[in-house]
Structure 1
Amino acid sequence: MPPPFSTLRALTLTSASLLAGCLSVPEQSGIEPSLFETPEYHAQQGLAVVKASALYARGGTGQDVTVALIDSGLNASLKEFEGRLGDPGFDYVENRPGTVDRVGHGTQMAGILAANKDDQGMHGIAFNARLLPFRFGDDNEPFFFDSEIAHSWQSAFDKGARLLNNSWANAIPATEINEARYNQVMPDSLATARKLVSDGAVFVFPTGNELRREPLAEPGLPVAVPELEKGWIAVVALKNDGSAINGKSNYCGIAAAWCIAVPGGDGGAQAGLLTVGKDGRYVQTAGTSPAAALVSGALAALQSLYPQFSPQQVREHLLATTNRTGIYANSHAYGRGLMDLEAASRHTPGWPTISP
């Protein structure tokens, strides 16, 4: 006679609990998260909100992980990026190896992502990661640079980057995009994104800064092209204390299933996130662009903790371990919830969860 359902359920719960315990990730050699909570850590206010110090204590700092930065370039000569470049990258504006950054946007995003932990100013969320910078344009809409973006993605992948930070988006609401229309606007990029997602890459995009209830084209693209979802993250920006969505961020909207919320700063004096400017001075930045860079860096730091898992598995784990309490239960605004690196680093990807 088979055991009753209650017995089977008890056995299942016990086995799952034991397995979850076995898959916990301890702090390295008893290192306390508080040891990482330096003035430099607190200066970048978003780090404490997403509990980055717990991830650092468990060994996740971005070591040996490369992140592609597809943006306005990078001033790689700054001290904050000394030792952080995995490759000089390429400048598609000036058609040469290496990059400059005349606008400053790319350098600011690189600071959020991987500025050095050197007791100066602030540090990036993945302060040991490697950056691979590409410059595709400065102030025009991305669709003017379709070919350059596609080449950047493919080159980054060929050079070992599986995480691609894109702190930009075309100003077309995702609700107005279908596959045919997007293929008219960004044909090269669409073909390359399909190929690289199939090959294991993860793309990160901001929802946009128009204070709309729906994201822009790229963050919502898996609605039109569902095969992209497994390699896609959209990012909504919170105030730098994480208390609510910031003053201009678009909502997750139709991208809720692959969207995550993190601090992106807000308008006003000292209300942004601290980063490094193109001239080396520390500056405030705010919006969904730095929020996306924060998520790309978090993925790199988690990947270094879980090298045995693919970037797409790490992506799903990051989305599965968010904080969905309180306001973050509103999926239309906040998608999967507030990024929580303590929870993401406490158990390995795939650890069992038991619904009540």
Structure 2
Amino acid sequence: MSCRYFVTRILTITLASLLVGCLSTPEPSGVEPNAFETPEYHAQRGLAVVKASALYALGGTGQDVVVALIDSGLDAGLNEFEGRLADPGFDHVENRPGTVDRLGHGTQMAGIIAANKDDQGMHGMAFNARLIPFRFGDDNEPFFFDQEIAQSWQSGFDKGARLFNNSWANAIPATEISEARYKQVMPDSLAVARKLVSDGAVFVFPTGNELKREPLAEPGLPAALPELEKGWIAVVALKNDGSAINGKSNYCGIAAAWCIAVPGGDSGAQAGLLTVGKDGHYMQTAGTSPAAALVTGALAALQSRYPQLSPQQVREHLLATTNRSGIYANSEAYGRGLMDLEEAARRIPGILID
């Protein structure tokens, strides 16, 4: 072996040791991952596929992390969200602080992200994270609510959120979006997104539910505006067992470099991911929307595992630790691969040691 090999190995191992010393992580819980694999855990079938229990055992539960939910609102009075709000948020439909949720979509996404671990029904990916909900509209395409979305992003950031769950997208193929066209469609939101990404925020979007080979406008936006990529994640939805893309999801396509795959439920009345309905009852939801919420929750949980990393560093670590074996090597479909929270929780961020 060459001297260069030994020098490289020494430098790599030394750097790894230094980074371990620099990273201040929560104390491990002192229990094995299987202690977290309760009936409540298994009821939310996506958690086991992405190995969330390994992250929980190392302290990654979302503690002290704030997530902004930009959706149809949230019924914050439900038991599953007791103690989970960082701020009441804002209802742009009724123009008042706090939100209601007429459609139920926002409440369902909130459940996927942060429903309480309380031995009832199911729990969210980051069950100790806190939410700031925003309601921007109950129908029509998102571009009808450009100003409200922009205001929600800025308000969420101002109130401490650095992770933004956006389980929606404009029905325009990302391949048809240019900077000029997006400025026509979402001028206010574009300006705020650029600013907040520059300031360290991370935005999560679903690829869309048309079973096409390209994502919709927002998940693919960094293809037209590369400066957004460092703060962007697109999400494809897999079947519950992770075996293939589900019956709705668009592919990663041109978003492959910032796209990740997670369970999003199968088709059928009892085949989705379990979450909380607007009336407080548990229900199934399927598609790329809950898949995006699962990833946002994972970012929050991983952020609490590595509190000294920035949200954008956590994002890159999540993308760098995916499972890319077998079918997940197809980047057109699965982007960076299947989310693997055991690998993300155990590997030293930024360091690869053979």
TM-score above 0.5, yes or no: yes
Partner of 1:263 in structure 2? 263
Deviation string, structure 1 residues 222-278 (Cα, Å, up to 9, x no partner): 011111000000000001111110001000000000000000002113211000100
Distance 1:270 1:10 in 2: 56
Match of 2:5 among 9, 12, 16: 9
SS at match of 2:243: coil
| DSSP-derived class of the 2:237 partner | strand
Does the CA-based 8 Å contact 1:143-1:185 persist in structure 2?
Answer: yes
Amino acid at match of 2:59: G
Amino acid at match of 1:200: G
1:45-84 equivalent positions in 2, closer than 5 A? 45-84=45-84
**In structure 2, do the counterparts of structure 1 residues 18 and 54 end up closer, same or farther at CA, with 3 Å as the change threshold?**
farther
Identity of aligned residues (%): 83
**Distance in 1 (alpha carbons) for counterparts of 2:26 and 2:201:** 28
C-alpha contact (below 8 Å) 2:240/2:272 kept by paired residues: yes
2:236 — aligned with what? 236
The letter of the residue matching 1:242 is G
- Return closer, same or farther for 1:22/1:56 CA change in 2, 3 Å cut-off: farther
Amino acid at match of 1:8: R
* Alpha-carbon spacing, 1:32–1:23, altered in 2? closer, same or farther (3 Å): farther
Sort the Cα spacing of 1:27 and 1:327 in 2 relative to 1 into closer, same or farther, 3 A: farther
Match of residue 314 from structure 2 = 314
> In structure 2, do the counterparts of structure 1 residues 19 and 153 end up closer, same or farther at CA, with 3 Å as the change threshold?
same
Give the letter aligned to residue 98 of structure 2: G
User: 1:117 maps to what in 2?
Assistant: 117
Distance in 1 (alpha carbons) for counterparts of 2:29 and 2:224: 47
Counterpart-to-counterpart distance in 1, 2:26 and 2:120: 29
Cα root mean square deviation, aligned:
1.5
Alignment of 1:200-349 (within 5 A): 200-349=200-349
Deviations along 1:134-164, one digit per CA (max 9) or x if unpaired, are: 0001121000000000000000000000000
Aligned residues: 350
The answer on whether the counterparts of 2:266 and 2:286 sit within 8 Å (CA) in structure 1 is yes
- The secondary structure found in structure 1 opposite 2:301 is helix
Counterpart Cα distance in 2 of 1:20 and 1:343: 16
Alignment partners' CA distance in 2, 1:34 and 1:107 = 28
CA contact (8 A) 1:274 1:285 kept: yes
Query: Which residue is 1:32 aligned to?
Result: 32
Deviation at 1:14, TM superposition (A): 4.6
Contact 2:29 2:59 in 1 (8 A): no
Aligned counterpart, 2:191: 191
Check whether the contact 1:170–1:216 (CA below 8 A) recurs between aligned residues.
Answer: yes
One-letter amino acid of the counterpart of residue 81, structure 2: F
Displacement of 1:12 in angstroms is 1.9
Runs of 4+ in 1 over 6 A off after TM superposition: 24-27
The answer to whether the 8 Å contact 1:27/1:57 transfers is no
- Post-superposition shift, 1:31? 1.5
Measured in 1, the distance between the counterparts of 2:283 and 2:147 equals 32
Contact kept in structure 2, 1:19 and 1:352, CA below 8 Å: no
Which range moved further: 11-20 or 235-244?
A: 11-20
Comparing 92-101 and 340-349, the one that deviates more: 340-349
Give matches, 1:66-105, under 5 Å: 66-105=66-105
Instruction: Please give the per-residue CA displacement for 1:18-50, whole angstroms capped at 9, x wherever unaligned.
Output: 654776789815420000000000000000000
Between the aligned partners of 1:27 and 1:240, the Cα distance in structure 2 is 31
Deviations 1:38-90 (CA, angstroms, capped at 9, x unpaired): 00000000000000000000000000000000000000000000000000000
Q: Which range moved further: 25-34 or 167-176?
A: 25-34
What letter corresponds to residue 198 of structure 1 in structure 2? S
Compute the TM-score of the two structures, normalised by the length of structure 1: 0.95
Instruction: Say which SS state the counterpart of residue 237 (structure 1) adopts.
Output: strand
Q: Judge conservation of contact 2:26–2:305 (CA < 8 Å) in 1.
A: no
C-alpha distance in structure 1 between counterparts of 2:26 and 2:132, whole Å: 31
Secondary structure of 1:11's counterpart equals helix
CA distance in 2, matches of 1:109, 1:305: 22
Distance in 1, matches of 2:347 and 2:325, equals 19
**Counterpart residue type for residue 265 of structure 1:** G
CA–CA separation in structure 1 for the residues paired with 2:52 and 2:11: 30
**2:238–2:246: 8 Å Cα contact kept in structure 1?**
yes
Please state whether the residue corresponding to 1:243 is helix, strand or coil: coil
Q: Following the alignment from structure 1 to structure 2, what is the Cα–Cα distance between the partners of residues 23 and 51?
A: 24
TM-fit CA distance, 1:351 = 1.8
Distance in 1 of aligned mates of 2:308 and 2:27: 18
Residue 348 of structure 1 deviates from its aligned partner by 3.1
Once the two structures are superposed, residues 177-214 of structure 1 have per-residue CA deviations (whole angstroms, 9 ceiling, x without a partner) of 00000000000000000000000000000000001000
Sort the Cα spacing of 1:31 and 1:182 in 2 relative to 1 into closer, same or farther, 3 A: same
- Paired position in structure 1 for 2:141: 141
Q: CA–CA distance in 2 between the matches of 1:179 and 1:163?
A: 23
Unaligned runs of 5+ in 1: none
